[in-house]
Structure formats: C-alpha cells, structure tokens
Structure 1
Amino acid sequence: MNSTVKILLSSSGFSHFCFIFLFLFRNSTALVTDANEVKALNSIFQKWNTQPEPGAWNISGEPCSGTATDANASLDDHNPAIKCDCSLENSSTCHITHLKVFQLEITGEIPEELVALQFLIHLEINQNYFYGPLPAFIGNLSRLEFLRVSRNTLSGPLPKELGKLKQLTYLAIASNNFSGTLPPELGFLDKLEKIFIDSSGVRGEIPSTFANLRNMKIMWAYDCALTGKIPEFIGNWNKLTTLRFGGNSLEGPIPSSFSNLTLLEKLQITDLHNVSSSLDFIKNMKNLTYLSLRNALINGSIPSYIGKYKSLQTLDLSFNNLSGQIPSALFSIDPLTQLFLGNNSLSGGLPQQKGVKLQTIDFSYNYLSGSFPKWVTNDVTLNLVGNNFTFDSSNISDFYGLNCLQRYFPCNRNTPRYSHIAINSGGKKFRDYEADDRDIGETSFVVLNSEKWAISNVGFLFTEGGQAFNTLAQNSGTKVINSKTTPPDLYQTSRKSIGSLRYYGLGLENGPYNVSLFFAEIVYEDQDSRKWGSLGRRVFDIYIQGTRRWKDFDISKEAGGVRRAIRKSFNANVTENHLEIHLFWAGKGTCCIPGDGSYGPLISALSVTPGKLCDFFES
C-alpha cells in the first residue's frame, strides 16, 4: 500500500477516504431515473399525446438522459422538456425537477400522475388548452418554486392548497376561466416574488393576508374584477419593481403609502372608481421608467419634480382631471419618448423648448392654446385634437385638418354640407362606403380632404409600450358569416385601436340620426378549435356624442363566435353640426392573445343616416 493510501487510512483521514470511495463508486455506477417518476411521466405524456423531440430525452427508456442532465443545456432548448437532478439524497437515483410543455395545443385536464413527481421545482404548462380545475393535489408538490399555468382554459375556484407551496417564488395563473376570490392562503407564500393573475377570472377583494408578501417584486392584476380599495399594505412591499392594476372595479384613492415604493420601475394603475388621487404619492419614485395612471381619477396639477426622473421613458396621465399648465420640466427628461396627457383640463400653451427625445405625444382634449412651438413637427407622432390652438398660414398646412378638430369643431359649422356618412373601416371603398385604409399610427388623427369625417386614435401597447402597432386588421381566416342584409365584404377588414378610437362626422345637418356600427371578430381563432389562440377576449365601451351607450361590449359574445357579423344601432342627436363615435378600451379583456396588442376596440364599418330618434335597437 502506497503512502497516499496510508495517510487516508489514518484516523484523521478515514472519513475523507470514504467520501472519495463513494464518489468514485457512484460515478462508476449507471444513474437511473426513479421508477415511479418514469411511470408517471410516460402516463402523462401518453394522455397529452406528445413526446420529446429527437435528441432531447428518451420517454420510453431513461428520461434523465441527454439534455435532461446536461448542465450546459437550457430548459428552453426543447419543447416539451424536462431537467433532472442526480445528486439528491446521496443516491444513484435521478429525479425529475423541471417539466415544461409550452404552446403545444395540448387538450385535457391536469393529471393526478403529476403528484409522483415529488421533486419538481419548476412546472410550466402554459399556452395550451388545459381545461377543468387547477387540482388541489398541486399543493402536494411541496418543492415547487415556479408554477406557470397561464393562457389555458382552467376553471373553478383556485384551490386553497396552493398555500402549501412554501417554496414558491413565481406564480402565473393569467388568462384562464377561474372563478371566485383569491384564496387567503396565498398570503402564506412569504417567499413569493412574482405573481400574474391578469385575466384569470378571479374577483373580489385582495385578501388581507397578502400583507405578508413582503418579498413581492412583480404583480400583474388587471382585468380581474377585483373590488374594494387598493390595499394600503402594498406600500410595505418595498422590494416591488413592477405593479399593474387595470380594468378592475378597484376604488381610489391610490394609497399614500405607495410613496415608500422607491424601487418601482414600472407602475400602471388604470380605470379606478369613486375617490380621486393627486400625484403626491409618486414623489419618491425616481427609478420609474414607465408610469401609466390612465383613467385613474387623478386630479390637481402635474408636479414639476417629474422632470428630475432621469429614467422615465413613458408617461401616461390621460383621461384624468388634471388641470393647470404642462410643466416645461417634462420636456427636459432625456429618455422620455412617449407622453400621454390627453382628456384632462390642462391649459396654457406648449413649452417652447425643443423636445428632442419625444416621439409620441397625446395632448388631446385639453384646453391648450396659442401656436405650436418649433419642435412640434411632422417627425413627432402626436394628437392635439380637442384643444384651442391657433392656426394661420404658418402651420395650417403642416397638420392638415387639425383646425377642424379643435374644440367646437369649426369646419362647416353653421353651414352644414352632409347628412349621411358610410365608412368601410380598415378597407377600400366599397359601394357607398368610403375607404378607411390608412394606417394612422398609435397616436394620430386624419381628416379626409372633403372635411366630411375624421379619425382620432390614441394608445400604446399595454404590456410595455414603445413597440410598433398596426391599426388595421385583415381577416386571414374563414369568411365572415353574415345572415343579415349587410354585404359580407364589409367584415373582411377592420380598424383597431389599443386605447381610444374616435370617428367624427363633420358638417352634418342638425337633427336626429341613426348610427349603425358593424363588427366581426377577425383577430382571434374560433373557440371550437381548442387552441390557446382562441382564448382571447376583446372588451371595450361604446360612446355616442359623449354618452356611454354600451359598457363592456364583447364582439364575439354578442355575435355568437368569431368571424360572425353583428350590427349594433343607436340613436343620436346632432345639434352643433358634428357627431362623435367613441370606442374606448377600459383595461378589460386579454392583452396578448394571440399576440401583444390583440386587445382594444375593433370595428368593421359604420353608417350614419338621418332618421327619427328611437330607442336603442339591434339589427
């Protein structure tokens, strides 16, 4: 025996020798996957009618092989995919720790065989067509750290057993058909850092137990029918970097405790009710890159200290009750590229310094006046509709028609020229329906050369903003079903918006009119297809002459499915020679199915004809 072995066998080195021996023995022994896990995995994939890609792992033999145990391989390298850990419990047995099945159009329920995968820390089965409940046995997977079941059609109440997943840091249940309230037991997940419950179907108040979630960094909770006041305790989540509320039934005010959220980078609180708020709570949020408080009952003035927020790129304070002048400090924020202040009561003129970084501006429906500063050029995408700007020979040609869309709509005022409008939204001229096929951009307007009608569009992508968005939609599926007398060709194209879409009739004779709006959902897939792309919901409000005539209008629901035509007609009274049809997205519906920007108003055609005022009718 050599000297090295003698040293290892000494009393002080015996334990080290045993460790080395066991290490060499283990690495010379074939590693095998736990038999119960193999059986469960095979059963699951048989039920789901799927199998691994070639070269990934062997479903019929040894699953913990290939990329499943390759430390350099990512879970995203294959789909479906698993990862294994063969170092657990000091044995030669491998255990499945990660399972991902993403966007494979799998239909079925979540099988109970999952319980056998007791070592799972990562479960990702999103963007499929799983139905039925989220089963209570999920709570038995006690090692789970990451759970994503979003963009399926799961239903029923959320199981309280989710509260048993004490290691969970990530939970995504978005875009499903759940019912009931959020289980208070979720508040026991004190390691939770990210939660996505948007468009999940849950409703009711946010449980008081959520005060325990002090490690929360990201929370998305829009389009959920949440009620009650925004909890004050969220202001104690001092690790929070992203918070999104919108399209709920939450009440203001926004808690003053939010001033403690100094790490916030993205804040979106929209569509609040009852009690208004000032902007005082943002005074310490100097790390903001994205701030949207659209339609959130914000009043008071815009504080000049926002000009010191050197990371701010998007600022949306539209559809509020802000007053006073626009601080010139806003235009000194170097990275700011998107600025939305439309539909407030702001007054005064625009600051004269050059906004070199601004690319998108919405100041529509304020009381701004005076002439345009030199930095307002055609290089900037902007909407200045509904103000009191002065037009003369120096600027009227640069923004054709904007003078017609100032307050009181002066073009053809008192000298009406028209009594009928028909528009083929998103399409070419068709019979008596005029063409409306210009992609006008996310924040813009267009007035037809005849000054007969106009369009105003305002919006930006709800998820982040700053991405291009096409305002026209073309039917790429089966032909639209239409059992009415309206020509089916009108439903093959649409104009869409990711915020606020207005059509204006200009120079109309005063009197009663019938307004007919034609709709067909041509973006989503048919729900009978049982594909995740069919799970989108489009919800928006319809206003005529400033009065809401339909809340939460859903084209597919009203028409009985996608690619089915429907016409809704309303009465209107024109008294000052102009008519306004407003389609407004109030934060409801799914945001990103089948892709980003698949939400908001969509219309196929419209017609305005003189006629006796009547009650709302449908044809």
Structure 2
Amino acid sequence: MNNTDCCSLDGISCDPKTGKVIELHLVVGFLSGTLRSNSSLFRLQHLQTMDLGFNNLSGILPDSIGNLKHLRVLSLGGCNFFGKIPPSLGNLSYLTDLDLSDNEFTGELPDSMGNLNRLKELQIGLNKLSGNFPLMLLNLSSLTLADLRSNQFEGMLPSNMSRLSKLVSFTISGNSFSGTVPSSLFMIPPLIELDLTKNDFSGPLVLGNMSSPSKLAKESISAHLTSLDVGRNRLSGKLPKSLINCTQLELLNVEDNRINDTFPSWLRFLPELQILVLRSNEFYGPISSPLSFLKLRIFDISGNRFTGVLPSDYFSGWSAMSSVVDIVDYDQRMFRGASYPTYQKSVGLTNKGSNMEVVGRGFTIYKTIDVSENRLEGDIPESIGLLKELIVLNMSHNAFTGRIPPSLSNLTNLQSLDLSQNGLSGQIPPDLGKLTFLAWMNFSYNKLEDPIPRGTQI
C-alpha cells in the first residue's frame, strides 16, 4: 500500500506536503496482539502523535518505542501492557503528553524519564508501579498534570515539591505514601486540583511557608486551589485556617482521618464551596451558629462529636439546596481549553441506609446533608424545609427531640430520609407519604406515634 492509500484511512493523518504519516489515532479495539520490537510502526520516523489507547496490545512495550524521536503525544492507556516501562522513553525529547495509565506496568519509573523536559501531562495511574516517589519527575519543569493514582508507590513525598512550579493537577490517591504532606505542595501558584486520598499520610496538614509561623503570607498559598481531597489518611491536628485564602475552593474532603478540631465556621467565607466532607474524624463542640453556604451541595459531618442545638433558621442561607442553581462542574471549568481528562473523582456517602460513592458527574446533581452519628440535640430546625432540592437527609444517631417538622414535606426531590436513633416524639407528618421520589424512610428507635406514611416509592 502506498502512502496515498495509507493517508486515506481512518485514524491516520499525513503531512500534506511530504505525505509522511504524522498522526495515528487507532483507539478502542482497532488493534490486537503484541507490539514486536521490529514492527513497521517504529519506522514511522516522522510520527508526532500515536494514540493506541484501549486496544488489546498485551505484552511488553518494546524499547523500539524510543525510535520515534519526533513524538509529541504518546497515548497507550488501557492496552494491557505489562513489565517495566522501557528506559528508551527518555529519548522522546519532544514529548509533551504521555499516557500509560490503566495497564499492568511494574517496577520503578526509569531515571531517563527525567530527560522529558517538554512533558506537560503525565498519566501513569492504575498500574502496579512501585518504589519511592520518582525524584526524576522534579526535573520536569513544564509539567502541568501528574496522575500517579492507584499504584504501589510508598515513602515520603520530597520536601521541594514546589519545583514543579507549573503544576495544575496532582493526583496520587490509592498508593502507600506516608509521612507528613509537604507544605511546599501548597506553594505552587497555578495548582488547582490536589488529590492525596487513600494513602498513609500522618501528622498535621500545614499549608504554605511556615518559616514565619506568626504570619502566614497570603501569597504562599495556592490561591487558585479548587479541589483539595485528603480523605482516608491518618492526618491529625487542626484543619488549617489558612485555607480561608483559597477563595476558589469548591471541594474540601478530609474524611476518615484523625483531625481534632472545632467546627470550621470560617469556611463560610469561601464563596465557591460546593462539597464539604468532614465525616469520620474527631471534630467536636457546637455548630450552632447559622451559616450561609450559598453553593454548598454536599454537607457531610457524620461520625464526629459535634454537640449543641441547631437554631430554627440554621439552613436558611443554603441557596444551592433551596433552589435550582446552575452550577458549573468544577472539573469542566478547571480544564476548559486544555486536554486534561476529567477523571472519576469520588466521595463516600450514606444513602438509603447503605454506604455508597458519588462518582464523576454525580457531583453536579447530588445534594445531601448528613449529620448522623454526632451528639446534636434539641429540635430539628424548621428551616430544613427550605432545602427543596435536597436528595438525601440523614440526621440519625443523635439526640434530637421534639416533633418532626412538617416542613419536611416540602422536600419534593427527597429520595432518602433517615431520622432513626433519636428521641423524636409525636406524629410522623402524613404528607411525607406524598413525596414522589422518597424511596427510603427510617424512623426507628424514637418515641413516635402512628404508622409510617406509605410513600409512592415505598
């Protein structure tokens, strides 16, 4: 087949002047078998883009990949490769985008990858890579995205992470990194997304340059930070108040740690906050002051030691849950105009009595309040009835008393309601049975009268 024939095929692009193949986009099932070191593919010396993602190319990635010295984009995600990543990748000095995610690569990253000084996006998540944090990555001064999630990396992160001065997204969830989180991570000016979940980090979370602890400079914090997820580690101490400088923050998740602090009421000064998850820590004390969370959609403080009475107007300033609000998905906005993937983020929640994870696009539509397993008391605030967009409400395992507010029947989108294990008394509002979407109710272990209303979904 001559070049003209080749260039007319789907997924193949050629230089209009020379006729040389410069791009291959053969994704999702076009190819199968093993890439041999003598494959004609590696003789395409003018190739600039090779995207073979999600083909069944099981086997070892041959050293011959290093022959394609003009490659700028190499995407081999989901191809069932195994074995070590070949050191010859370091020869691809023009490479700007490298995706080796969702394979079975093992061992450590080759030191030669430190030569890829034009690399902007590195995706090596969902493999079986091991060893300490690959220090050669700190040489990649152009790097904007680094995704190392779901591997077997361990040890401490280096203290000079701020050398990656152009980093926008850093994801290392699902590894075994330990020690303290280096404060230099929060001193990378363009950083937008930081995901450190499911590791073994410990100690307090410190933001910015603490050489002068008496005065934390505003400019030392990543002011553009939109998503901070440090859940499922062993972090302790207090939630750093310097987060108040992260005025673009939309997601804050510290679930399943050992943070010991009072309720961070100062978070109300973060105007973009949409998702707040403090569940399963050692927070304590009252949360009685009414808060105005204009964009909050997920509020989970379950499994702590919060106390006190919630005033009747507690939920009156929660605009996003009380009306239909057009909220742009932060993943979409974060990477608008860029080629970054909006990978599937998740937060653990309780819905209909079972633990679940809200994943990906679920963030944009899910609206939930979970204050269960605390020591809250007094009446359930009447203002809960203002939150007409609420889907899940869990106030179980507290010490609430008095009557169930009739205003709950205003929650026309409610799907799950759990008020069990409290001291509630009186009649269950019969109008709850008219809620069209309510599929699960639990009022057990209270002092209530009359039968549970039979809803349209029950």
Normalised TM-score (structure 2): 0.69
Question: Residue 358 of structure 1 is aligned with which of 273, 283, 296?
Answer: 296
Whether contact under 8 Å (1:238, 1:261) holds in the other structure is yes
SS, match of residue 108 in structure 1: coil
Structure 1 residue 237, shift from structure 2 partner: 0.5
Q: Could you give the per-residue CA deviations for residues 33-58 of structure 1, whole angstroms, max 9, x where no partner exists? A: 9x5xx4xxxxxxxxxxxxxxxxxxxx
Query: Which of residues 406, 410, 414 is equivalent to 2:398?
Result: 406
Q: Tell me if the contact between 2:201 and 2:233 (Cα under 8 Å) persists in the aligned partners.
A: no
Structure 1 counterpart of 2:377, one-letter code: T
Offset, 1:175: 0.6
Distance change in 2, residues 1:274/1:296 (3 Å) = closer
SS at match of 2:19: strand
Listed as ranges, the matches of 1:440-589 within 5 Å are: 446=418
Show structure 1 runs of 5+ residues with no match.
1-32, 39-60, 69-79, 88-92, 411-438, 452-471, 473-503, 508-619
Q: Which whole-Å CA distance do the structure 2 matches of 1:447 and 1:223 have between them? A: 37
The structural deviation recorded for 1:310 is: 2.2
Give the 3 Å change call, closer, same or farther, for CA 248–401 of structure 1 in structure 2.
closer
Query: In the comparison of the two structures, how many residue pairs are matched?
Result: 350
Q: Which residue of 1 aligns with 2:169?
A: 242
Evaluate the alpha carbon distance shift between residue 173 and residue 397 of structure 1 in structure 2; reply closer, same or farther with a 3 A threshold.
Answer: closer
Deviations 1:213-256 (A, max 9, x none): 11111001111000111123422110111101111111121113
User: Is 2:376 the partner of 1:389?
Assistant: yes
Contact in 1 for aligned 2:307/2:375 (Cα 8 Å): yes
Is 1:86 paired with 2:16? yes
Question: CA RMSD for the aligned pairs?
Answer: 3.3
Post-superposition CA distance 1:307-355 (Å, at most 9, x none): 3322111111221222222232211222111111111111222241321
Structure 1 residue 106 displacement after superposition: 3.4
Quick one: distance in 2 between partners of 1:118 and 1:336?
49
Distance 1:170 1:305, change over 3 A: same
For 1:291, the aligned partner's letter is L
Counterpart code for 2:40: E
Deviation at 1:403, TM superposition (A): 5.6
- 3-state SS, counterpart of residue 128 of structure 2: coil
1:164-207 deviations in Å (ceiling 9; x for gaps) = 11111111111111122111111111111110111122111233
Provide the C-alpha distance between the structure 1 equivalents of 2:11 and 2:381, rounded to a whole number of angstroms: 63
Asked if 1:369 is matched to 2:307, the reply is: yes
CA deviations over 1:580-602 (Å, ceiling 9, x no partner): xxxxxxxxxxxxxxxxxxxxxxx
* 2:239 paired residue number: 302
Q: Which structure's relative contact order is higher, taking Cα pairs within 8 Å and 6+ residues apart?
A: 1
Task: Read off the aligned partner of 1:392 and give its amino acid letter.
Answer: D
Residues 161 and 397 of structure 1: CA distance in aligned 2, closer, same or farther (over 3 Å): closer
3-state SS of paired residue (1:250):
strand
Q: What's the secondary structure of 1:62's corresponding residue?
A: helix
Matched letter for residue 103 of structure 1: V
Report what 2:284 is aligned to: 347
The whole-number CA distance in structure 2 between the counterparts of 1:368 and 1:184 is 49
Q: Which runs of 5+ in 2 are unaligned?
A: 210-219, 323-366, 402-412, 424-438, 446-458
Secondary structure in structure 2 of the residue aligned to 1:171: strand
Alignment of 1:177-188 (within 5 A): 177-188=104-115
SS of match in other structure, 1:130 = coil
Determine if contact 1:134/1:154 at 8 Å carries over to the other structure: yes
Give the structure 2 partner of residue 583 of structure 1. none
Q: Which residue of 1 aligns with 2:25?
A: 100
| Matched position secondary structure for 2:24 | strand
Contact 1:303 1:327 in 2 (8 A): no
- Match of 1:579? none
1:540-567 CA deviation, whole Å, 9 max, x = no partner? Answer: xxxxxxxxxxxxxxxxxxxxxxxxxxxx
Q: Which amino acid aligns with 2:31?
A: I
Q: Does 1:109 align with 2:34?
A: yes
Shift in alpha-carbon separation, 1:261–1:397, aligned structure 2, 3 A: closer
Q: Give CA-to-partner distance per residue, 1:426-461, whole Å, 9 cap, x none.
A: xxxxxxxxxxxxx988xx77467999xxxxxxxxxx
Aligned-pair CA distance for 1:133: 1.1
With over 3 angstroms needed to count, the CA separation of the structure-2 counterparts of 1:286 and 1:296, relative to structure 1, is: farther
1:228 and 2:140 matched: no
Q: Which has the larger radius of gyration?
A: 1
Q: Could you report, residue by residue, the CA deviation over 1:98-126 in whole angstroms, capped at 9, with x for unpaired residues?
A: 10012236322225111121101110011
Give the 5 Å matches for 1:153-302: 153-273=80-200, 275-281=202-208, 284-302=221-239
- 109 and 450 in structure 1: CA distance in 2 versus 1, 3 angstrom threshold: farther
Quick one: distance in 2 between partners of 1:230 and 1:247? 14
Q: For each residue in 1:109-168, what CA deviation from the matched residue of structure 2 results, as whole angstroms up to 9, or x when unmatched? A: 225111121101110011222211111100100001110100121111111111111111
Q: Secondary structure at the match of 1:203?
A: strand
Q: CA–CA distance in 2 between the matches of 1:266 and 1:360?
A: 18
When residues 284 and 274 of structure 1 are mapped into structure 2, their CA distance, relative to the original with a 3 A threshold, is closer
SS at match of 1:298: strand
2:252 corresponds to which of 309, 315, 320? 315
2:330 aligned partner? none
Give the corresponding residue for 1:482: none
Task: Give the share of equivalent positions with the same residue, in percent.
Answer: 24
Counterpart amino acid of residue 206 in structure 1: F
| 1:63 maps onto 2:6 in alignment | yes
1:325 to 239, 262, 276: 262
